Amino acid sequence: MTKAHSGTHIPGVSFSWRRAIGLSSLEEKISRKTGIPFTRSGRERKMGRIFMHLIGWMFLALLAFIGYELITHPAALNWLIGLFNHH
């Protein structure tokens, strides 16, 4: 069961102690300067984007490494072709 608000409630009027003391504004300024969200969901979204970009860069690095190995070691290319031609 939720706790009821004390006092009278006027529809359309709300009060935030965080806004009243300027905490919300300070958090917003810090978030904009650092680029790190204050909310949990915002931080999770940001980490998800970083992780997905990291996976993409790792995949590109792997492709570059394989390409380099195939160019510098012709025997590796023959071995790879043999894998696909083997019935």
Give the mean pLDDT of 24-45: 91
Q: Whole-angstrom Cα distance, residue 67 to residue 56?
A: 17
Residues 52-77: b if buried by 16+ CB within 10 A, e if exposed: eeeeeeeeeeeeeeeeeeeeeeeeee
**Residue 87 above 70 pLDDT?**
no
Q: Give the confidence band of 29 by pLDDT, cuts at 50, 70, 90.
A: very high
pTM over 0.85: no
Q: What pLDDT shows up at residue 4?
A: 52
Average of per-residue pLDDT values in the chain: 85
